[in-house]
Structure 1
Amino acid sequence: MERVVIYGGTGGIGLATARMLRTRGYPLHLVARDAGRLEAAVAELGETGFTAGNVTDPNLFARVAEEAGDRLGGLVYAVGTINLAPLPKVTAETAIDDFRINALGAFLAVQSAARALKAGAGEAGAGVVLFSTVAVAQGFAHHASVAMAKGAVEGLALSLAAELAPKIRINVVAPSLTRTPLAEGITRNETLASGIAAMHALQRLGTAEDVAALASFLVSAEAAYMTGQIIGVDGGRSQLRTKG
């Protein structure tokens, strides 16, 4: 199996995906800001390279391309933001930062890896997974900045899925609120978290493992006939209303 690059692979959905891909036998290359957490993840996972850096640094992606190797079996861009605020309080700096981290980072990650992904594609194609949010399809108040950025991710994925086929498959996972370190600002308040959970048909919030199960599948050869898809892992939140 060829190596899979995971941006944001030291915590939350990224680390959970890394663990599941390792159980499938994939060697990995992790990318994250915190060198200490990177070293800990590499020690846990084994057969894993790493690059430390911030996705807001445009030079990072060239370094990853060089260090991860010239043949890749997949790429997971599990980096994101959750900046929620009413429209008057969203600054231009926040909106630009959300776009840079969520959308532009995803673009640069795929762009820099495209040649290696094509080289390592094999019969099933190389699997790329990007992340959106239920707030793009559903529309929630105070989500303008992150929904705008993640909506761009969905458009990017559809365009690249068409352009890079058949060698590279690109799919998007769109979770609802998930219990991860990134969402702790919301989920640590159990009263608030329970109220949000009750809005879901399955009556709970998602876990990193719920989302990673789909992400690792989409990378794998089992998803060889899937590309250009935006798939919710959202407890029914985007489609179902169980209360009037």
Structure 2
Amino acid sequence: MKNILLIGGSYGIGQAIANRLSETNNVHVASRTSDQISEAITYHTFDVMEDEIATLKLPDAIDGLVFCPGSINLRPFAALKLADFEKDMQLNFFSLVKVVKALIPKLKQAEQASLVFFSTVAVKVGMPYHTTVAASKGAIEGFAKALAAEYAPSFRVNVIAPSLTDTPLASKLLSSEEKKEKMGERHPMKRVGTEEDIAAVAVFLLSDDSSWITGQVIGVDGGMSTLQAK
């Protein structure tokens, strides 16, 4: 049975991943809240912006790491301050680097660990009002590829780049069925993503079925990054 650690995982995509994994793995979730976490999952109180991952009682070997924290800060560039970029970079990127750096010894103890990070379709496809999120998530993509190259074959590193997904984080953008339908029409698949769409790919990347996949940015975006909607 593998030891899988999710940073974040008490709601949204992280929760969907944790629930799927808990059926056949030893799953640990480190997050600020535990309201939605199943009894089959080991919970650790953890704030990625404040706490040190080394203080948690985790297994000696970690076979899979999923980093879920992120932000959706959609505003015109002219309305943003430098502090907005710094805040998004701290949450999306620097906190990830801090966690990974601290966990390297435990990841090396696994036979071949798998790391899964999250980006956004807006890194590949330029979109208005996405400057802060595209910048910080773009840093994740570059970091993941370099990390994958440096640590292969000891462990694998891949990134999932979703388009708009129906999660609590995106609730303001999808607050009505009309908004969901309108946003869905922008995608070739004519709908927005679901938590399970993303979770299925994450679980695959953590499994041995993806043992020859590393250094990839995988678009789970309803075709938005490569196709034109009709």
Q: Which residue of 2 aligns with 1:158?
A: 145
CA contact (8 A) 2:3 2:28 kept: yes
Would the aligned equivalents of 1:49 and 1:68 in 2 still touch at CA under 8 Å?
Answer: no
Match of 1:130 in 2: 117
1:64-103 mapped onto 2 (5 Å cutoff): 64=56, 67-103=57-93
Counterpart for residue 119 of structure 1 = 109
| 1:221 and 2:213 are equivalent in the alignment | no
SS in structure 1 opposite 2:171? helix
Give the CA deviation at 1:61. Answer: 2.0
Q: Give 1:105's aligned residue.
A: 95
CA pair 190-92 structure 1, distance change in 2 beyond 3 A = farther
1:81-115 deviations in whole A, cap 9, x for unaligned? 00100011112222111111111122122111111
1:12-31 mapped onto 2 (5 Å cutoff): 12-23=12-23, 25-31=24-30
Distance, in Å, in 2 between the alignment partners of 1:63 and 1:90 is: 35
Match of 1:60 among 34, 52, 59: 52
TM-score, with length taken from structure 1: 0.91
Distance 1:144 1:189 in 2: 25
Structure 1 CA distance for aligned equivalents of residues 167 and 142 of structure 2: 25
Report the equivalent of 1:184.
171
Q: Give the partner amino acid of 1:183.
A: A
Offset from partner CA, 1:38-63 (integer Å, 9 cap, x none): xx4142xx1x3222121111x42222
The equivalent of 1:236 in structure 2 is 223
Shift of 1:2: 2.5
Task: Provide the residue aligned with 2:10 in structure 1.
Answer: 10
Indicate conservation of the 8 Å contact 2:37/2:43, yes or no.
Answer: no
Paired position in structure 2 for 1:32 = 31
Contact 2:162 2:198 in 1 (8 A): yes
| Local SS of the residue matching 2:75 | coil
2:185–2:229 Cα contact (<8 Å) kept: no
Amino acid paired to 2:28 = H
TM-score, normalised relative to structure 2: 0.96
Match of 2:149, SS state, is helix
Q: Deviations over 1:13-72 (max 9, x none)?
A: 10101111123x1101101112x42xx4142xx1x3222121111x422224xx112111
- Equivalent pairs, count: 230
Q: Extract structure 1 runs of 4+ deviating beyond 6 A.
A: none
1:193 is displaced (CA, Å) by 2.6
Measured in 2, the distance between the counterparts of 1:49 and 1:91 equals: 39
Query: Higher helix share goes to which structure?
Result: 1
Q: Judge which range, 198-207 or 185-194, deviates more.
A: 185-194
Shift of 1:227: 0.4
- Look up the equivalent residue of 1:32 and give its one-letter code: S
Describe the SS at the equivalent of 1:135. Answer: helix
* Alignment-derived partner of residue 210 in structure 1: 197
Which structure 1 residue ranges, 5 or more long, are not aligned?
A: none
Task: For 1:99, give the aligned amino acid.
Answer: M
Return the letter of the residue paired with 1:7: I
RMSD: 1.2
Q: Distance in 2 between matches of 1:7 and 1:242?
A: 34
